[in-house]
């Protein structure tokens, strides 16, 4: 099983997503262990304060070091007690880029407990990084919090766990990403169609139009279908 502990100020965001559809079923089937924790449960004051102003000035609030430290300590100890290696991963806009290769590594690391820290406001008190093993970004843009990045990690990892997607899953046929010196070479998935085989509509000029699913895909000839699908895969590049 793959193990995640998520530390967030907004546990409902994580719980709602992770109780839905494929991830929800994977959780119920115990293919993945996702424990969601409210950072406020590691506060000691009456207002359960998790943030404060930045020393030296600057806009916005920062997540305080003490609750984060306590969360990391408690969840790391719990991991070790379960025989798992704790790995603290902070969601950070300037971190290392998360990609499919990392998702594959995480999906096969069943002896690790990933402790994902979701930042908010202006991020974390810098002293927290002393206890962080890895800083991950999901891309070159700034979000309001680390909840979406954490969910992206959980989602992309969980769907790779054997048995989560069932028989319909074929890794070879999915879009693949091959990083090289200049960027990422992308081999797209082939176009796919479902019923109806013939779709009629009237376009904006009032002309009747028809779109038909390619004959070969309806032929039942699996060899020809596989060849056609391979031929139709798109090639593109993502520049870094």
Ligand X SMILES: C[S@@+](CC[C@H](N)C(=O)[O-])C[C@H]1O[C@@H](n2cnc3c(N)ncnc32)[C@H](O)[C@@H]1O
- Residue 44 interacting with ligand X (CB under 6 A): no
- Residue 149 interacting with ligand X (CB under 6 A): yes
8 CB burial (10 A radius; 0-12, 13-18, 19+): buried
N-terminal to C-terminal alpha carbon distance within the chain: 33
- Residue 138 interacting with ligand X (CB under 6 A): yes
Residue from 143, 165, 184, 185 binding ligand X (CB under 6 A): 143
* For ligand X, the closer CB: 145 or 179: 145
Other CB atoms within 10 Å distance of the CB of residue 117: 26
- Residue 120 interacting with ligand X (CB under 6 A): yes
- Residue 207 interacting with ligand X (CB under 6 A): no
> What string of H, E and C letters represents the secondary structure of 124-165?
ECHHHHHHCCEEEECCCCCCCECHHHHHHHHHHHHCCCCCCC
- Residue 64 interacting with ligand X (CB under 6 A): no
* For ligand X, the closer CB: 67 or 123: 123
Residues 6+ apart with CB under 8 A from 235: 185, 186, 187, 188
Residue from 146, 153, 154, 161 binding ligand X (CB under 6 A): 146
* For ligand X, the closer CB: 139 or 188: 139
Residues that bind ligand X (CB under 6 A): 91-94, 118-120, 122-123, 137-139, 141-146, 149
């Amino acid at each position: 099983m793959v193990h995640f502990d998520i530390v967030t100020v907004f546990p409902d965001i994580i719980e709602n997503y992770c109780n839905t559809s494929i991830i929800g079923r994977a959780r119920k089937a115990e293919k993945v262990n996702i424990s969601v924790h409210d950072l406020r449960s590691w506060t000691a004051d009456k207002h359960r304060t998790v943030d404060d102003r930045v020393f030296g000035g600057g806009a916005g609030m920062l997540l305080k070091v003490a609750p984060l430290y306590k969360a990391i300590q408690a969840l790391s100890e719990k991991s070790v007690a379960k025989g798992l290696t704790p790995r603290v991963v902070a969601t950070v806009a300037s971190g290392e880029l998360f990609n499919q290769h990392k998702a594959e590594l995480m999906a096969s690391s069943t002896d690790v407990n990933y402790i994902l820290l979701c930042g908010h406001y202006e991020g974390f008190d810098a002293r927290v990084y002393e206890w962080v093993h890895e800083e991950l970004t999901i891309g070159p843009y700034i979000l309001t919090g680390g909840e979406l990045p954490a969910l992206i990690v959980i989602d992309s990892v969980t769907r790779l766990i054997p048995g989560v997607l069932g028989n319909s899953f074929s890794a070879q046929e999915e879009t693949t990403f091959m990083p090289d010196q200049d960027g990422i070479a992308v081999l797209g998935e082939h176009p796919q169609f479902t019923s109806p085989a013939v779709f009629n509509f009237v376009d904006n000029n009032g002309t009747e139009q028809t779109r038909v699913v390619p004959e070969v895909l309806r032929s039942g000839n699996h060899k020809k279908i596989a060849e056609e699908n391979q031929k139709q895969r798109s090639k593109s590049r993502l520049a870094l």
